[in-house]
Structure 1
Amino acid sequence: MNKQWGELANKMGTIVEDIVAPNIPRIAKEHFQVRELDFLAIRVRKRSSRNKSRRREFDVIAASDEHLFVNETKATPRPEYVRDFIRMLPEIRDYFPEYGDRKLIPIFSSLQIPDDLVAYLSKNKIYAMAMGDETMVLLNFDAVDEITRGKAASEH
């Protein structure tokens, strides 16, 4: 039985490789009009450009001419995981200064995400990606897009 639990835990750890990462190019194309990604990497380990002693692993990083997609994937989504992701986002340019001019697109993924967590993600301008009928979908694209457009309009 322990072996089966171990195999299941290992399989859950490959959600990123098996399910999330293959959906990022499609999500980029369908929702953000990205024709082609210049870069897509899974489980990227990177040092901060500001503090070389700080190192971090990113589940999925993807970049196009105009966008930097940062994905955090959890087998079991919890509010504390979202809070950790929110706290990390302002530092993302320290880890990827080469994409400093790109619009940041944060995506939090899991196989399913409860509605209250989707609302929390939306409020924080983070896209929620989970399984739909056939493949992964952004659960809150319209909500985040509306908040983002509202903020952009008020800045002008």
Structure 2
Amino acid sequence: MKSTAEKASELERAMMELVYQSRLTEMKIKQLAEEMIDFKDEMRASKKEMDKKWGELAKKMGTLIEDIFIPSLDLTIEKYFNVTPYDVMPRRKVRKNGKSKTMEIDILALADNQAFVVEVKASPNRLEYVYDFIEKLQTIPDFIPEIKNYKVIPIYAALDMEESTINLLTKNNIYAMILRGDILEIVNFKDLS
């Protein structure tokens, strides 16, 4: 049988071991909490970087789409409208009243007395894009007065678009141009001619 002193000593050792384990656990929890804070900060930075990359990709996608349409646009205009553009201006940006108002036109092509205003979209089936283009068409003469005497011919272009978008464009007298294979086609030309 153990004496009271031995029992007290064992109890004291057990208590010290418990205190040690408790402090060790506390330190590990603190370390884990710090790692979690660092991880959250890294994730925020990573998300911010990813958002930036997505923005750059979306912008690049828009210019990529324009780059697909520009080389064949004059041939397409010639095929459908029997005129050859003498000036094709990609990414035309016009400022009005200094810098307070700006307008961007993806492609502006001039031929005889016609101004072909081409809006190119990577995601053409968003209705607000169509309505934004309709609104833009109404203000073009204010931004580009040199084409006031030109007949403005609006063309909404994309790699492909839904029938409902084409119908909306046709209803608003806007040509719908898509890429079929490696040929640009105005799919509602007969409906608007």
After superposition, what is the alpha-carbon deviation per residue over 1:109-153, rounded to whole angstroms, capped at 9, x for unaligned? 1111100000000000001111113322111101122xxxxxxxx
Deviation of 1:38 after TM superposition, in Å, equals 2.3
Query: SS at the partner of 1:88?
Result: helix
Greater Cα offset, 126-135 or 66-75? 126-135
Please report the TM-score for the alignment, with normalisation by the length of structure 1. 0.81
Tell me what 2:103 maps to.
56
RMSD: 2.1
Structure in which a larger fraction of residues adopt helix: 2
Q: Which runs of 5+ in 2 are unaligned?
A: 1-49
CA distance in 1, matches of 2:144, 2:54: 36
Deviation of residue 4 (structure 1)? Answer: 8.9
Contact 1:123 1:144 in 2 (8 A): no
Contiguous gaps of at least 5 residues in structure 1: 146-156
Name the amino acid aligned to 1:81: Y
**3-state DSSP of counterpart to 2:161:** coil
Q: Percent identity?
A: 40
**CA–CA distance in structure 2, aligned partners of residues 115 and 4 of structure 1:** 32
Taking CA–CA contacts closer than 8 Å with sequence separation of 6 or more, which of the two structures ends up with the larger relative contact order?
1
Aligned length: 141
Q: TM-score, normalised by structure 2?
A: 0.66
* Bigger Rg, structure 1 or 2: 2
Distance of aligned partners of 1:5 and 1:45 in 2 relative to their CA distance in 1, 3 Å threshold: closer
TM-aligned CA deviation for residue 9 of structure 1? 3.7
Partner of 2:68: 19
Tell me the CA shift for residue 8 of structure 1.
5.3
Report SS of the residue matched to 1:13.
helix
